[in-house]
Structure 1
Amino acid sequence: MKRHLRWIPAMVATALLAGCSLPSFNKNSEVTTTETTSKSSESTIIPSMQIDDQYYRTLLPYKESASRGLIVSNIYSRYDIQEAETGLMRLSLNQFPTDKYYFQEGQYLDAKTMKSWLSRSNVDKLGLNPSNKGMNPEESATKAPIYVAHVIEQNYLTKTGDKKVKLGGISIGLAMNSVYYYQKEAYGATYEEAIPQAQLLENGKKIAQKMVKRLRSMDGLGNVPITVGLYKQLSHKDIVPGTYFATATAGEGSSSLQKWETVDEEYVRFPTDSTDDKYSETNDNFNTFKDDIDTYFTNNTNVIGRGFFKDGKIQRLSIEIPVKFNGTGEMIGFVQYVSSAVSSQFKKDLQVEISITSSNKPEALVVKDSGEAEPYVHIYND
């Protein structure tokens, strides 16, 4: 069994870099100048290391978002917080490939602007959400729900060829509510109203178009491509994240979003009661794997799986196994058994990631990459 950490998730790597000063890197790292506005610039470092071609390199020193912290209060769950950001990066790959562009958190929409734009239009004249003036709570829920809960901004920079880096494009994610929550009276019961998909799409497109026109008027954003994605935030009760469902791009200098495209992505919880054929094989394999775990371990284990589907096909299966261990030997034996079960129960071309925890503390990580027969295992040390 191999005992080493195979990789570090991109968002974790990003977090580790946040707030650092300009460091001293190895000779393969490149020192450049970043054009921050039309009249100023600053020195930055482009790290030589890249995790793989699906992840962007970030410039150092790392710049935090101008609206840092708002996403935690505006989006329901940690699953949606992560997916709204990483999903937008996936969409951005089509417009801003990782071999030519570098990632930077959004620097143009600050917290004040964001709060203003997320307001209702009768509360703030710049509000992008519909007015509910004169409506009672129930009417607001059906006729004028809050559509956009949050806006994710990502900046993509590119080298100009003369040891300078400049903004090459911007991506915007509109995190939209699929459920509107309201109260009929102060401190009363909370009710919910589902927002139909067609209604989300129609209003999302309109709001996105307004945003692009506003962005074009900002200093530095007049000519760069702007990619927009519409993200569907699920109910706060869900333990799987939502996904982006539509995207469009305004080309260089254009204020119009052209050719909206459907994004076919979905997260599914396993085991699932769905009878849809596209889930059946994964569900059968997952249930067999879960039965193996239950047979091995007499303690009650709550095995939960989350499958990521793209264009109707599963791409990745993440599994969480919380177990109470009574000793290190017991834990190591269990990890070995899980590693063997992964190889025998899941097809070779499926990426499987298993997190084993005890008392809310990570104990081990088992990763089987797509195309690999054997998994990699990392056992955490206290």
Structure 2
Amino acid sequence: MKKFKAAATLVVLVAVLAGCGKLNFSSDASSTTTGGSGTSTSKYQTTGSVNSDMYQGVIQNGSYKTSSARGLTIDTNTQGSNTYNIKSMESGLQSISMQHFSTSKYSLEEGQLLSTATAKSWLMRKAATTKSTALVSEGPDGLNPSQYQNGEKGAVIANFQTAKPEYLATILEQDYMQASGKSMKLGGISIALGMNEYYYYQKKQYGATYSTKISQTDLEKYGKQMAATVVKRIRKMSGVSSTTPIVVALYKNADQDSLVGGTFFASTTSESGNSLNSWKSINEKNQVLPVVENEKAVNSTVSNDFSNFSDAIENFFPTLAGVTAQTHYESGQLTGMNITINTQFYGLTEIESFTQYVATTAQKDLPSGAKIEIQIQSTGGIQAFVARESGEKAFYTHVFGSY
């Protein structure tokens, strides 16, 4: 591996269907940025980039500009509370955006268009007036289906939680900026709509939690309808012109207990006005290895290779606490694997020896071609890191020391 990839912190706006369907939000205001040899103007500069596959961040007036809606995080144990969904949505939307906004011409800024209030209002159920109860949050700008028989008010639909589940759980905005003289201008926008494959709800406050599975057909149908509405609303916002490109991608959240995030399944672009280009299907799959509960492996060869790797290092170092992997496939081909090895090592010499053995075993047993990251950790934290970029053969290793 040629270098580490720093992770950009992006805002993710999450609607929590809190057991009973009410939206709950909690705040986490911490943020980090990285510096580098970026470009600079009188007001703006960029962070610089260590990799051509990464966007430079935007710094305004000497400070990293966080989103005006920053701080919305998941507060309850619903499908959206799977933190892997947040991470995979952010990185996946960047990958989709790279097809439209080159890393050499655009810099990435946290979403500035959607305020906290706007995000909350869009993630509600549709209703004539804004109201929040123990079971439902609703308002006139809500993108999720109304619970009422006549659309926005009146009698409540019987079993509305299953008849009209809340499809939309998350909205993520990324802004792509271009240099313009001594300033920067908005060059493009990417929006991810995180859809619920499973909707969790309660029939009464403090009651039992139920779930209903939403079909792929419904996810696509309602996701595309919501995308059209979102584009219309964004076009009306200050700073967005009629020709600002807007990319919209639909993301299916993984279940709340999943050890891997969800996947994108469709995307489109609005190049001007409110019109959308033809939707493009995205064929992605994520899977945790080893497979459990008689689950069929997405790719049996990859699964067998991982088993060989896992067996080899567990036999050599029998005190390991476990080896698992997240795998990512695009159009059936493995494109990434993140392996976590939990150890009970505490001596530096043992960690160094183990890290070298992991690297040589990985090169011998794991699939070639794909990007692979291996994190070696104990209860005390990360001990070592082994990685390889896609297309490379040799693995890079680093053991974390202490003074």
| Same fold by TM-score greater than 0.5 | yes
Q: 1:12/1:216 Cα in 2 relative to 1: closer, same or farther (>3 Å)?
A: closer
Q: Which has the higher helix share?
A: 1
SS of match in other structure, 1:258: coil
Structure 2 partner of 1:56:
55
Q: 2:306 and 2:400 mapped to 1: Cα distance?
A: 25
- The answer as to 2:64 corresponding to 1:44 is no
1:11 is matched with which residue?
A: 8
| Structure 2 residue corresponding to 1:132, chosen from 147, 171, 174 | 147
Count of residues in Structure 1 that have an aligned counterpart in Structure 2:
358
Please, which of 22, 40, 47 is the counterpart of residue 31 of structure 1?
40
**Pair 363,245 (structure 1): closer, same or farther in 2 beyond 3 Å:** same
Q: Does the 8 Å contact 2:44/2:183 carry over to 1?
A: no
Distance 1:298 1:65, change over 3 A: same
CA RMSD after TM alignment: 2.3
In structure 2, stretches of 5+ residues that fail to align are 12-30, 128-137, 149-154
* Alpha-carbon distance in structure 2 between the residues aligned to 1:304 and 1:135: 46
Aligned counterpart in structure 2 of residue 193 of structure 1, from 207, 212, 223: 212
The 2-side partners of 1:239 and 1:9 are apart by 22
* CA shift digits 1:107-127 (9 cap, x unpaired): 111001111111111221111
Determine the structure 1 residue equivalent to 2:284: 265
1:146 paired with 2:151, answer no
Deviation at 1:307, TM superposition (A): 0.8
The corresponding residue for 2:342 is 322
* C-alpha contact (below 8 Å) 1:72/1:81 kept by paired residues: no
Q: 1:237-276 maps to which residues of 2 (within 5 A)?
A: 237-252=257-272, 254-272=273-291, 273-275=294-296
* Residue in structure 1 matched with residue 102 of structure 2 by the alignment: 97
The match for 1:333 among 346, 353, 358 is: 353
What is the percent sequence identity of the aligned residues?
Answer: 33
Judging changes above 3 Å, is the alpha-carbon distance between structure 1 residues 29 and 50 closer, same or farther for their aligned structure 2 residues?
closer
> How big is each residue's C-alpha offset from its partner over 1:193-249, in whole Å with a ceiling of 9 and x where there is no partner?
111111011000111111111111111113211110111111101011001111111
- Helix, strand or coil at the partner of 2:99: helix
- Compare 77-86 and 325-334 and name the one that shifted more: 325-334
Gaps of 5+ in 1: 34-42
Q: TM-score, normalised by structure 1?
A: 0.88
Equivalent position of 2:21 in the other structure: none
* Cα distance per residue 1:100-143 (max 9 Å; x no partner): 1110001111001111111111221111111113447x822321
Distance 1:79 1:331, change over 3 A: same
Corresponding residue for 2:304? 284
Distance 2:10 2:112 in 1: 20
8 Å CA contact retained: 1:10, 1:55: no
State the shift of 1:5 in Å. Answer: 9.0
SS at structure 1 position matched to 2:70: coil
Aligned partner of 1:36 in structure 2 is none
**2:371 matches 1:355:** no
2:15 is matched with which residue? none
Once residues 179 and 248 of structure 2 are traced to their aligned partners in structure 1, the CA distance between those partners, rounded to angstroms, is 23
Question: How far does the alpha carbon of each residue in 1:308-338 deviate from its partner, in whole angstroms, 9 at most, with x for none?
Answer: 1112100111100111114222222221211
